[in-house]
Amino acid sequence: MAKKKSKQSKQSRTPFRQEIINFLHRKRGKSFKRKEISHSLGVNKTNYHLFQEALAELARSGEIVRAKGGRYTSASSLQKIQGALQMTRKGFAFVADERTGEEIFISAQNLNTALNQDLVEVQLFGVSRGKNKEGRVVQILSRARSTFVGTYHKSEYYGFVVPDDPRVYRDFYIHEKKSLSAQNGQKVVVELEKWDTSQLNPEGNIIEILGYPGDPGVDVSSVAIGHGLQLGFNKKVAEEARKMRLLITPEEVSRRLDLRNEMTFTIDPVDAKDFDDAVSLEKLENGHYRLGVHIADVSFFVKEGTPLDKEALQRGTSVYLVDRVIPMLPEHLSNEMCSLQPYQDRLTFSCIMDMTPRGEVVDYRILPSIINSKRRFTYEEVQAIVDDPRSGDPFAQALKEMHRFSRVLRERRFREGSIDFNTPEVKFRLDVRGRPVEIIPVQHLESHELIEEFMLMANQTVAKHVYRLSRQLGGEETAGDAETPPKTGKGKAGRGKSSQSIAGEKAAGKDGKLLPYVFRIHERPDKEKLAKFGDFMHALGYRIKLKQNLSPGDFQAVLKQIEGGKDEILIKEVALRTMMKAVYSTKNVGHFGLAFRDYTHFTSPIRRYPDLMVHRLLKEYQAPPDPKRLQELRRLLKEVCEISSRQERQAMEAERESVRIKQVEWLMQHQNEEFEGLISGVMSYGVFVETIPYLIEGLARIETLADDFYIYDEKTYSLIGKDTGRVLRLGDSVRVKVARIDREHNEVDFLLVEEKGENT
């Protein structure tokens, strides 16, 4: 009887299924509530439950779509887009529509087993979620990754892995046979084997046991692997690099500018092992300067399409974690063959600029060269020489001239609207087991700024150079997708008529097109983020006006107001989050933060793939390129920019997380101490405090504020005591001590310490 009833019920539902599909198909582009559909179909009360079941089943199967507000629409009428899924820590996600730049909102229930960075196909709903269109993942086109790092837990009946990354929102079920005999609490690498439905957890297979969290190096290795970073090189790549030899033949020297007798030297951190830039400065008879920036010629060794090149592209960048460097290239290349070691002949690519005493470029050359570095300096050594008026160092005069000229360049750059975003950083002194013994605030010296200004000038000049090349090689007829250099800066600033900017303006006329190239771009801040930044500044008591068409100079003027104030660190951090992220692109839209119309990365090919690509392009464009090759380059460079931008974000996240791990580990050894701090965030559930100078952020929960009942005032970013009137406001100085530390999630809770004389 039961089977007969089920068959009869199924038959009775069938008409409703088809009627619903037909109705919504006729009304494509519109969405309806359940009652509106039932009324249109004439469903009576007796059969209403069957109609409801059919509607729910169609939505589950994807034949129709349940959109925001419980409305239904035809699946066939909705647009579909493809893109990389960007998960948030709150469990929902976004996918960018490349055609419009819009962010499509994906709710947790519409993820359909997709994970962060997966390439997905998204079906758009007929209605929007607030300012964002909404959609659901209908197909996973490719997984961004198949392995994840987490902590293994063993229950009585089964095992599971809790992922370290909070954006991986489900635990992995682990069958006993696939546990690799992992022990409870160990860090492991799990491979995703099967995940067919969001109704169940993903099934995984443990492929590597990293060890217990307290074992030496396990914490940072977990971070690296968890962000998809490869700790070592495969045999094929390692062997290719190991076989390379630096043989400087007379024929090779004849193809290069020979600068081995020139006074060139490197300036790097004390612990640097790879030196990819050297500098030189010469005073000319006419009073001008000849600034030379000489960069390791990595393109001589790493040829396009080789296993080594493919591996370098996939890595995109070297990664600097607290206890190690994960290099883009094997160490035989990065630390030896390419590194500009002192007293050794090395192949380079030089950007040599003739400049006025005011810092204007009047002529330049960019060409392959060979140098012999005369000294390996550290930043601290250079600073000591510059600060000592009686220094007897043989390079003292040259260094002091470089220092003086770099100040001219720096002052000029800031006059033209460049924004100073130097924020505090920390580094660590570790013991032999990798445990943090000391947190050391990083000193930003004028010797750092010397190299920074010279590198910025070279990167600008190399970016402008493509306009001249495009004009000379017929780029207006043959090359592709680029734009006239954008105007940046404030007023007339940033538009001086140096020789390369004139060449750029002529080459990139109204209809001009550039040869395929790689630019480093930074777009204007989002208007919504700027409005929030304005509200934030007003809450701190600053009266500022942010223009609709904000220039870098305007933004710089705002930050000038807070220089030296107690809020400076906090405001600069929030300002950084307000800005768009700098990325690599084949389209030149300028660099807002630097106030540069033209900018690229040329100066670090040992550790950044886009710089290596720019070197190759400069060599290739020494002769007119073949049209077919130009088409190939357009496709290749788009991929290079996408991969490099993505890997840069991954590297930055890994670097920050490795710092956070060591900060929390250090704090565990200092739990009984009190710390000075600033309130860095205010929420309804408490205040975030960042300790000074250690930059460790933790949460003082509202329930621990026992002296009063606090009310959250969103407009003023503050908690206000109901009875005492005590105000805890963003930017306030406070004292804290540790209440709780969660090492597994690297979370810290603080208690506010009452000052003498305060309300208690």
CB 293 within 8 A of CB 455: yes
Q: How confident is the model at residue 77 (pLDDT cuts 50, 70, 90)?
A: low
Tokens standing for 344? 């050794």
User: What are phi and psi for residue 327, nearest 5 degrees?
Assistant: -80, 155
Widest CA span of the chain, in angstroms? 107
Average pLDDT (353-358) is: 98
Report pLDDT for 579: 86
pLDDT above 70 covers a percentage of the chain that reads: 90
pLDDT at 364 (0 to 100): 98
Cβ neighbours of residue 31 closer than 8 Å, sequence gap 6 or more: 67, 71, 72, 73, 125, 126, 127
Q: Which fold has domain 2-75?
A: Arc Repressor Mutant, subunit A (1.10.10)
51 and 41 Cβ atoms separated by less than 8 Å: yes
Q: Which tens digits make up the pLDDT trace of 683-717?
A: 999 999 999 999 999 999 999 998 899 999 988 88
Q: Of 459, 455, 429, nearest to 441 (Cα)? A: 429
Span 433-453, average pLDDT: 96
Q: Which CATH number among 2.40.50.140, 1.10.3720.10, 3.30.565.10, 3.40.50.1970 corresponds to the domain 670-752?
A: 2.40.50.140
* CA atoms 548, 549, 555, 558: torsion sign: negative
Q: What mean pLDDT do residues 561-572 have?
A: 80
* Low-confidence winner among 252-266, 270-284, 308-322, 704-718 (lowest mean pLDDT): 704-718
pLDDT of residue 484: 38
Residues 334, 614: Cα–Cα separation, whole Å: 18
Distance of CA 338 to the CA centre of its chain: 26
Q: Looking at the predicted structure, is the pLDDT value of residue 361 above 70?
A: yes
Q: Tell me if 686 sits within 8 A of 711, measured CB to CB.
A: no
Out of 93-107, 298-312, 477-491, 539-553, least confident range: 477-491
In the prediction, which pLDDT does 506 show?
38
pLDDT band for position 554 (50/70/90)?
confident
Phi then psi for 447, rounded to 5 degrees? -70, -30
The set of residues, in sequence order, having a beta carbon less than 8 Å from that of 229 and lying 6+ positions away, is 315, 319, 326, 650, 651, 654
Same fold, 78-142 and 670-752: yes
Looking at residues 152-159, what average pLDDT do you find?
Answer: 89
Give tens-digit pLDDT for 89-145.
889 999 987 766 678 999 999 999 999 999 999 988 755 555 678 899 999 999 999
Please state which of the ranges 138-152, 184-198, 565-579 shows the lowest mean pLDDT: 565-579
Greater model confidence, 319 or 45:
319
Model pLDDT, residue 568? 80
pLDDT 10s digits, 21-65: 888 888 876 788 899 999 999 898 888 888 988 888 888 777 787
Architecture of domain 78-142: Beta Barrel (2.40)
Residue 321 near residue 658, CB atoms below 8 Å? yes
Parallel, antiparallel, or unpaired for β 733-742 and 674-683? antiparallel
Per-residue model confidence as pLDDT tens digits over 371-386: 999 999 999 999 999 9
CA–CA separation, 533 vs 543, rounded Å?
Answer: 12
- Residue 130: predicted pLDDT: 57
Task: Report the C-alpha gap between 156 and 159 in whole angstroms.
Answer: 8
The pLDDT value recorded for residue 509 is 34
Return the beta strands (E) in 492-536 as ranges: 519-521
What pLDDT is attached to residue 493? 33
What pLDDT shows up at residue 131?
A: 63
pLDDT score recorded for residue 14 = 56
CA distances, 347 to each of 256, 301, 590 (Å): 9, 10, 31
409 Cβ partners below 8 Å, 6+ apart? 359, 453, 454, 456, 457
According to the 3-state scheme, what is the secondary structure of 215-244? CCCHHHHHHHHHCCCCCCCCHHHHHHHHCC
pLDDT exceeds cutoff 90 at 393: yes
User: Residue 60's pLDDT is what?
Assistant: 78
Q: Beta-carbon neighbour count of residue 7 at 10 Å?
A: 10
| Percentage of residues of the chain with pLDDT beyond 90 | 67
How far apart CA 542 and CA 575 sit, in angstroms, is 14
Domain ranges for the chain: 2-75, 78-142, 147-212, 446-493+502-653, 670-752
Decide which of 5 and 640 is more confident: 640
147-212 domain in CATH 2.40.50.690?
yes
Nearest to 526 by CA among 101, 89, 50: 101
Residues in CB range of 686: below 8 A, 6 or more apart:
699, 700, 701, 702, 703, 704, 705, 719
CB contact set of 290 (below 8 Å; sequence gap of 6+):
280, 281, 282, 283, 284, 352, 353, 354, 355
Return the pLDDT at 495. Answer: 34
pLDDT band at 483 (very low <50, low <70, confident <90, very high): very low
pLDDT at residue number 474: 66
Indicate the pLDDT class of residue 510, thresholds 50, 70 and 90: very low
The answer to whether 68 and 133 are in contact (CB under 8 A) is no
pLDDT of residue 46: 86
Q: Where are the alpha helices (DSSP H) in 130-234?
A: 218-226
Residue with more model confidence, 756 or 294: 294
Q: What is the pLDDT of residue 8?
A: 40
pLDDT computed for residue 309 by the predictor: 97
Of 688, 197, 659, 200, the closest CA to residue 436 belongs to 659
pLDDT in tens, 627-668: 999 999 999 999 999 999 999 999 999 999 999 999 999 999
Q: Is the dihedral of CA 218, 223, 228, 230 positive or negative?
A: negative
Report the amino acid identity of residue 399: L
- 3-state secondary structure (DSSP) of residue 190: strand
Query: In which order are the strands placed within the sheet that holds 277-283?
Result: 257-258, 361-372, 345-355, 289-296, 277-283
Mean pLDDT of 383-406: 96
